[in-house]
Amino acid sequence: MSGTGDGNAVGSGWTVAEIPSQAGRRALITGANSGIGYHAALELARKGAHVLLACRDKARGDAALKRLRDEVPAASAEVVLLDLASLESVCAFGAAELALGKPLDLLINNAGVMAPKRRLETRDGFEIQFGTNVLGHFVLTALLLPALVRAAVNHPQRPRVVTLASIAHKQGRLNFDDLQSAKSYGPMIAYRQSKLADLMLAFELGRRLRAAEPPISGVMSVAAHPGVANTNLFQVGEFSAVERVVRRGFGVAIGALLNSEAEGAVPTLFAATSSDVVDGGYYGPQGFQEMRGGDVGPAKVAAQALDQAGAARLWSECERLTGISLL
């Protein structure tokens, strides 16, 4: 299966040069201090968006902001503190953002944790990959929906929620009896589950938005994946000295044979800005096994990601675990 949960579009030969003007638009990107998030922020700022770099570490955020302004001196950007592994932090940020009374045109749910060697927990006691990649972004999206709806009313370009999934979702399975991997933890098993959950929730969000009344229905939900990109997800974590060397080696190979961070950001930018994107779309590289490629278009969707009953159950479980309702 390919394309989307509910639609299809083709972005043949699309490049970041085709991003339309983003002047007057506000974009929030989680995990924007490095990797794909940083490069998405860079290109959106280059096109005139006001970019909010959502980071959990102020020093790293400030360093990324300086780097961005070095590359785009006229950039309109700021660092905002947000720790997706803390629901208190997410709720505090959401309240502060809504208090501004400003529209939000783009919410790019990019930040992620990938396969820590041992089971770790968020501040709220959730397994860290499910808690950060899934629940943190679920709550953030729920809290910021009014700002996105405000953009749907006031701005000519439809606001979008862009969720970062992964080709790893194809091997993912939802274990509703052990979503927190408390009974049994496998680093990649938990990661694949979190990325499958992200994609299923992106599709479910799209269905619920389209079923809602205007102006809520004016908000789009789309998803993207970077293929295999040389980001710090491969190199940051609790690894032995030997494992760090091996992961750095993988990074070199990925950089030579697959996608750079900048190339990995192209599907995200396509999903966030292209007029070819449709509601419920899922986009990624078009090269070998979707791992790389200069072109971007509909990505392949595993059958389990299209399970609407499973998605609805997952949605309810996210609401139960976090105490936050969304649509």
What residues does each domain of the chain span?
21-319
Q: Given pLDDT bands bounded at 50, 70 and 90, which one contains residue 11?
A: very low
Side-chain half-sphere exposure of 236, counting CA atoms within 13 A: 9
d(CA 2, CA 219): 23
Instruction: Please indicate whether residue 191 is annotated as part of the active site.
Output: yes
The count of other CB atoms within 10 Å of the CB of residue 66 is 10
CATH code linked to domain 21-319: 3.40.50.720
Strands in the chain per DSSP E: 2-3, 26-30, 50-55, 76-81, 106-109, 160-164, 220-224, 282-285, 296-300
pTM of the complete model: 0.90
* DSSP letter string, 178-206: -TT--S---HHHHHHHHHHHHHHHHHHHH
Please give the pLDDT value at position 300.
95
Q: Given pLDDT bands bounded at 50, 70 and 90, which one contains residue 311?
A: very high
Write the CA distances from 49 to 24, 42, 123, integer angstroms.
6, 10, 33
Query: What is the C-alpha end-to-end distance of the chain, expressed in Å?
Result: 28
Q: Given pLDDT bands bounded at 50, 70 and 90, which one contains residue 9?
A: very low
Which of 38, 185, 191, 282 is labelled catalytic?
191
Average pLDDT over residues 208-225: 97
